[in-house]
Amino acid sequence: MSAVRFLVADSSPALHTFARKMIVGYGFEANWIHTAASAETALALANDIAPHFVLTDCFSRKATTGLQLVETLRARLPGLRWALMSMELSSALGSRAATLGAMFQLRKPFTAPEMQTAMGKALETWG
């Protein structure tokens, strides 16, 4: 596969591990999958790696939210694809994410098959 760079922004190391294994399972190189424990760390990392796909938590109680992360990155990387995960997936948040072009949204906690299905459809749609 071509060098598609992924960025997973979530405070859970377990989710980082799961996402990495799942993305590698789709045929992508492990060294092109990067993780960050906060939106702020993800922004700094994105300056170095210029991700093609961001899978982010909402980070609703943080200074920089997942949606702010995406808005900032999309200003620099117009072709950025992304998806949202959140325990607090309200209709307002879901609507805002859809407006910002989220390829999928998952309410936490989700199952491995739910994540795999959503990511698989996103990757098929992407192309």
Q: Is the pLDDT of residue 116 over 80?
A: yes
Strand order in the sheet with 33-36: 33-36, 6-9, 53-57, 81-86, 105-107
pLDDT of residue 2: 60
pLDDT of residue 104: 97
pLDDT of residue 40: 96
Tokens for 76, please give them: 């620099």
pLDDT of residue 127: 66
Model confidence at 100, pLDDT cuts 50, 70, 90, reads: very high
Q: Is the pLDDT of residue 125 over 70?
A: yes
Q: Is the pLDDT of residue 11 over 70?
A: yes
Which tens digits make up the pLDDT trace of 40-96?
999 999 999 999 999 999 998 888 999 999 999 999 999 999 999 999 888 999 999
Centroid of chain to Cα 19:
9
Q: Is the pLDDT of residue 3 over 90?
A: no
Name the CATH superfamily for 6-126: Response regulator (3.40.50.2300)
Contact 5, 31 (CB under 8 A): no
Domain boundaries, the chain: 6-126
Q: Specify the pTM.
A: 0.95
